[in-house]
Structure 1
Amino acid sequence: MEYDIWLLMSSGVKLVLSLKYLKVCTTCCTSVQINLTAEPGDTVTLPCRALTHNTTVSTVKWIRPDLEPEDIFLYQDNHQYPTFKNRVELKEEQVKDGDLSLNLKNVRISDTGTYECRCSDSGL
């Protein structure tokens, strides 16, 4: 599933931040299609949910394939890609409830791209 976030610039130009959901484990992730509008500096939530509430998710990985390395955030060791450092957040209590959504703070034009949520109940 894909998500579109519109970044509104002061000049009136709109830029699209395309968010793509990818399910890699049949017991893990699901999502719904949404469209978001954001301005630079806003906080957006990239939605992702565990399929069932009784699934024990051991690893959640948010990636952006066009980056090298592509990891945005890895919920296992709290790893964050340098340009996303201190701008992405996934709360442990959310994960326990099956909510794997990632909060992206202080949205920038450079955040435009495709994002994927990957999860595993036994590590990636």
Structure 2
Amino acid sequence: HASRESLTVKVEVYEGEQSVVLPCQYRQVLENILTVKWSRYDLNPNTVHQQQEGDDLHSQNQLFKGRTSMTPLDSGDFNLTLKKPKLSDSGNYTCSIIDDEGEKKL
């Protein structure tokens, strides 16, 4: 069974900023992390950014195309950088990790 933890970041965006960083860190042992996913559940599709061994953006919402980046997963730092934020980017973002036991929301 997968334990579920939740990290939801509320983002308020001001026009004209170069970028905004959404924080997400995981302090437990990282052995079998397969995927980290940032989501915004008021959008369809809800994927803001997904990373496995590299960026996996085939299911990314087109509103974020070319505007998101993450550091490599082995850093334990899953912060999402959102470039050229718009007022419409304001909202609640959820950081989740998916390992071989299932999905955990941080």
TM range (shorter): 0.7 to 0.9
> CA separation of 1:4/1:40 partners in 2, compared to 1, >3 Å: closer, same or farther?
farther
Task: Among all aligned residue pairs of Structure 1 and Structure 2, give the percentage whose two residues are the same amino acid.
Answer: 34
Q: Flag as ranges the 4+ runs of structure 1 deviating above 6 A.
A: none
Unmatched 5+ residue regions in structure 1? Answer: 9-38
Give the conservation status (yes or no) of the 8 Å contact 1:63–1:72. yes
Match of 2:65 in 1: 85
Query: In the aligned structure 1, how far is the partner of 2:82 from the partner of 2:50?
Result: 14
Q: Is the 8 A contact 1:53 1:98 kept in 2?
A: no
What is the TM-score with the length of structure 1 in the denominator? 0.63
1:90-122, Cα deviation, whole Å (9 max, x unpaired):
122xx2120011000000011011110001222
Q: Which residue of 1 aligns with 2:97?
A: 119
Give the aligned residue type for 1:81: N
CA distance in 2, matches of 1:48, 1:59: 14
Query: How far 1:85 moved relative to its partner?
Result: 0.7
RMSD over aligned CA atoms reads: 2.2
Q: 1:66 to 1:6 in 2, by over 3 A?
A: closer
Residue aligned with 2:16, SS? coil
* Superposition TM-score, scaled by structure 2 size: 0.72
Counterpart of 2:4 in structure 1 is: none
Separation in 2, partners of 1:7, 1:45: 11
Q: Which amino acid aligns with 1:120?
A: I
Structure of higher RCO (CA pairs closer than 8 Å, 6+ residues apart): 2
Matched residue of 1:7: which SS? coil
Q: Give the count of matched residue pairs.
A: 92
2:35 maps to amino acid: T
Q: Structure 1 pair 72/4, CA: closer, same or farther in 2 (3 Å)? A: closer
Q: CA deviation at 1:83?
A: 1.0
Q: 2:35 aligns with which of 53, 59, 77?
A: 59
